């Protein structure tokens, strides 16, 4: 019979890979505590009940309770955008049912992790900036951005704009708090991850900042547009997602130096700017389910038989092959415009072939 210590050691070895992934503020996206009225002034316990906050984030929560619902909304926006951008890839940004939100897969410092940090930081800037404009927060209001120099002289500057400056600053404080609290040895792998996360958070925030633009409204006699009022307005979040996806494609591979700085693995490449994404680990192939890396694998995923891209069965199924089945699709068709004013359609059903990875 094996000795007790040996049994315990065995137990430990078996359990270790399954220990929970670190929880994160992203869980605010899933948390039911989303209504501002839940944050009764001075109701401090709320902050200690929110899952996933680091010590510093908990303090910020106590100081800025009314912001928390918008941080949750920002995280949700970020996650939704991530799932849209990656819908046709092996790793599709799916969430798991615990406070880590994405599971263990983000413990690898991969490109995908870089994108996830950036897009969720961007989501927070987006949500807070807008909440300021809408007058939902007591510590900020409309944007006070300076009038752009190239705005035509006779246009008015001063509509109530999205407060991107405040959103940027608050998101930096809150999202980066968890990284800044960590105190790893200089030059260690863990410190490399902290630097990676901080860089990607910043790239995400800047993507919102850079895509914000001037919007204007016409006034004047019967729509003559002789007078215009203009303000600063956030771009659609899709545009932020598209931009970060481009940054994902061109992300820079880095490593930590002994002196505790990130440097390019390949020094012939251009060093990343603060708007670029960086990563420190190669990506797993995400082909098979693997508890230790958090990869869900692609078994059962729909794929496109004729595509040669990442959504094609060859790449999606990693060469394992696919099963075919028929499914019935119902669509609106033969639509007719009736005077006036409605559209009447018929329902058409169509049998289509679908393919799923083995």
Ligand X SMILES: *[C@@H]1O[C@H](CO)[C@@H](O)[C@H](O)[C@H]1NC(C)=O
> What is the DSSP pairing of strand 322-338 with strand 295-296?
unpaired
Angle at which helices 237-249 and 111-133 cross, to 10°: 160
Q: Using CB under 6 A, which of the segments 106-114, 165-173, 223-231, 299-307 binds ligand X?
A: 299-307
Q: Binding residues for ligand X, how many (CB under 6 A)?
A: 10
Shortest CB 284 distance to ligand X, Å: 13
Q: For ligand X, which is the closer residue by CB, 59 or 87?
A: 87
The one among 132, 234, 296, 313 contacting ligand X by CB under 6 A: 296
Residue 267 touches ligand X, criterion: CB under 6 A: no
Residue 87 touches ligand X, criterion: CB under 6 A: yes
The one among 71, 191, 298, 316 contacting ligand X by CB under 6 A: 298
Q: Tell which positions 301-320 bind ligand X, by CB under 6 A.
A: 301, 304, 306-307
Q: For ligand X, which is the closer residue by CB, 66 or 311?
A: 311
Residue 125 touches ligand X, criterion: CB under 6 A: no
Tell me if 113 sits within 8 A of 282, measured CB to CB. no
Residue 95 touches ligand X, criterion: CB under 6 A: no
Q: Using CB under 6 A, which of the segments 16-24, 73-81, 86-94, 225-233 binds ligand X?
A: 86-94
- Residue 176's nearest CA partner among 133, 130, 120 is 120
Q: For ligand X, which is the closer residue by CB, 151 or 314?
A: 314
Q: Return d(Cα 112, Cα 96) in angstroms, integer.
A: 16
Tell me if 230 sits within 8 A of 216, measured CB to CB. yes
> 322 — phi, psi (to 5°)?
-145, 160
Shortest CB 61 distance to ligand X, Å: 31
Residue 222 touches ligand X, criterion: CB under 6 A: no
Shortest CB 301 distance to ligand X, Å: 5
Sequence-distant (6+) residues with CB within 8 A of 255 are 192, 262, 263, 265, 280
Q: Return d(Cα 283, Cα 280) in angstroms, integer.
A: 9
Q: What angle do CA 343, 328, 345 make, to 5 degrees?
A: 10
Can you name the residues that pair with 303 across neighbouring β-strands?
355
Binding residues vs ligand X (CB under 6 A)? 87, 92, 94, 296-298, 301, 304, 306-307
């Amino acid at each position: 019979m094996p000795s007790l210590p040996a049994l315990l050691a065995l137990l430990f070895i078996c359990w270790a890979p399954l220990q929970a992934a670190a929880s994160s503020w992203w869980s605010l996206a899933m948390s039911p505590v989303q209504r501002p009225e839940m944050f009764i002034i001075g109701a401090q316990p709320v902050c200690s009940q929110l899952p996933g906050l680091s010590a510093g984030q908990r303090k910020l929560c106590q100081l800025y309770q009314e912001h928390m619902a918008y941080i949750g909304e920002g995280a949700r926006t970020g996650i939704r955008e991530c799932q849209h951008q990656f819908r046709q890839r092996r790793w599709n940004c799916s969430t798991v049912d615990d406070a880590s939100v994405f599971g263990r897969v983000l413990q690898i410092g991969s490109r995908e992790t870089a994108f996830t940090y950036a897009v969720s930081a961007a989501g927070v800037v987006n949500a807070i900036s807008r909440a300021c404009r809408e007058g939902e927060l007591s510590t900020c209001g409309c944007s006070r951005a300076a009038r752009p120099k190239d705005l035509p002289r006779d246009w008015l500057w001063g509509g109530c704009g999205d407060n991107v400056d405040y959103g940027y600053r608050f998101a930096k404080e809150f999202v980066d708090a968890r990284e800044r609290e960590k105190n790893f040895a200089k030059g260690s792998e863990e410190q490399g991850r902290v630097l990676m996360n901080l860089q990607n958070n910043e790239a995400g925030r800047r993507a919102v900042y850079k895509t914000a633009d001037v919007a204007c409204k016409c006034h004047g006699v019967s729509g003559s547009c002789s007078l215009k009022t203009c303000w600063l307005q956030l771009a659609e979040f899709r545009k932020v997602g598209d931009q970060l996806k481009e940054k994902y494609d061109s992300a820079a591979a880095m490593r930590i130096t002994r002196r505790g700085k990130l440097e390019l693995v390949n020094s012939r490449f251009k060093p990343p700017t603060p708007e670029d994404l960086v990563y420190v680990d190669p990506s797993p192939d995400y082909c098979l389910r693997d508890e230790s890396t958090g990869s869900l694998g692609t078994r059962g995923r729909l794929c496109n038989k004729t595509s040669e891209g990442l959504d094609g069965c060859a790449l999606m199924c990693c060469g394992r092959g696919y099963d075919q089945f028929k499914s019935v699709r119902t669509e609106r068709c033969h639509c007719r415009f009736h005077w006036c004013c409605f559209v009447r359609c018929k329902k058409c059903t169509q049998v289509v072939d679908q393919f799923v990875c083995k």
